[in-house]
Amino acid sequence: MTTFEHTRIVFQLKEYSVEEFISLKKVPNWVEIVQNQLVEFASDSDEMAFHTSGSTGAPKTIFHNKKCLIASARRTLDFFDLNIGSSALLMLPAQYTGGAMMLIRALVGGLTLHLVEPKLSIKEVPSVDFLPCTPAQFLSMLDNNVLNDFSGQILLGGAPSQKHLDIGGLKVYEGYGMTETASHVALRSYGEEEFKSVEGVYFALANEALLITASHLGINQLKTNDAAELTSATSFKLLGRLDYVINSGGIKMHPSKIESDLHNLGLKDIYISSRENEQLGEQLVLVYTGQFKELELSNAVSSLPRTQRPKWCFSVEKLPVLSSGKLDRKELRRLIQEFPHLLSPLG
């Protein structure tokens, strides 16, 4: 097995070399997954398997050449100025792209990597230079005042981020990427609209769909399921998922865009789906968890453009999610179709 002499793993307040950490016995399952991923990357195999979350279809396995993974890791290390001895935190599941790539960055860059169990509610984090997490984890840390004295750089990925959060002086970035691109290929500072490519990545459009070209990843005009507005060959504004587009009377709408507008109006735990309609094809449905007054919902909806106002609301005790934690929009729409008696007119 290849050795990584500069990399250190910190687990339960103890620091280990990579070899020492891999040899630990009787560890929790999430730690065992980390060990297995380290062994897999350090093996003589030229490729490494990555598993998609299933947010855009059936989960599948994608194989990446390790040279491409190393090239991706180096671009992240360079962007965030991470060098031998820099520290980072792993709080993402190691079996998915975000967590696996953080392990690879630590190995390639000779980082000191602190391990925290990957869960939503984070009560404490060590002081590190680099902290990748999901938007839900970030929100939890803000709510728990975990980041009050944090001075490192934070990278959000894996799901859309809630806009207009009060992040104070935190240095927060959002990444754009997918399993097919071996982590992010573009970044933006929190609050900005435009994503800007990492070195060597270029964008184009095909019928509103974003195309990605990155020679260091062996990618040439990879067609994504994301609708975008191109601002240059190396920057774009993200509009939403093409496969989630709702077509109502010929007007195409992106659920994530409407959700973002509602979140900005102060409504959390609000999501947009649709129901079949004989005349229009589809009608927008506002889905919510928790307790909301009808007037509160109606007032918020009335602030939206007329064509984007949901006609129905649908309450669920618990949102359907995929194994990755992302909202399962297909299952949500199925629930609406199966239980139409739970729909209430809105406005």
Q: Can you state the percent helix, strand and coil of the chain, rounding each to 5? A: 30, 35, 40
For residue 298, the model assigns a pLDDT of: 81
How far apart CA 195 and CA 65 sit, in angstroms, is: 26
How far apart CA 131 and CA 154 sit, in angstroms, is: 5
Q: What confidence tens digit (pLDDT) does each residue in 70-113 have? A: 999 999 999 999 999 999 999 999 998 999 999 999 999 999 99
Neighbours of 193 (CB within 10 A): 12
Q: What confidence tens digit (pLDDT) does each residue in 133-175 have? A: 988 899 889 999 999 999 999 999 987 777 778 999 999 999 9
What does each C-alpha distance from 304 to 66, 261, 344 come to in angstroms?
A: 46, 8, 19
Tokens describing residue 26: 């009787």
Neighbours of 247 (CB within 10 A): 12
| SS3 state of residue 142 | helix
Tell me the whole-structure pTM to 2 decimals: 0.76
| SS3 state of residue 233 | coil
| SS3 state of residue 215 | helix
Virtual CA dihedral for 177, 183, 185, 190, nearest 10 degrees? 70
Residue 5 identity (one-letter amino acid): E
| SS3 state of residue 312 | strand
Contact between 187 and 230 (Cβ < 8 Å): no
Strands 87-90 and 171-178: what pairing?
Answer: unpaired
CATH topology of domain 8-241: Rossmann fold (3.40.50)
Q: What confidence tens digit (pLDDT) does each residue in 50-65 have? A: 876 555 555 678 899 9
Virtual CA dihedral for 90, 93, 96, 99, nearest 10 degrees? 0
Closest CA to 128 of 171, 158, 75, 167: 171
Looking at residue 211, what DSSP letter applies?
E
Q: What does the domain layout of the chain look like in residue ranges? A: 8-241, 245-345
Residue found under tokens 């507008």 = 261
Tell me which architecture the domain covering 245-345 has in CATH. 2-Layer Sandwich (3.30)
CA angle 272, 276, 280 (to 5 degrees): 95
CA angle 234, 237, 239 (to 5 degrees): 140
Q: Three-state secondary structure along 90-117?
A: ECCCCCCHHHHHHHHHHHHHCCEEEECC
Contact between 135 and 160 (Cβ < 8 Å): yes
How far apart CA 11 and CA 206 sit, in angstroms, is: 46
89 strand-pairing partners: 114
Residue 6 identity (one-letter amino acid): H
Tokens describing residue 54: 């299933």
Closest CA to 243 of 231, 235, 255, 251: 255
Ranges of the chain whose pLDDT falls below 70:
1-3, 52-59, 323-324, 347
For residue 1, the model assigns a pLDDT of: 43
Strands 219-232 and 235-241: what pairing?
Answer: antiparallel
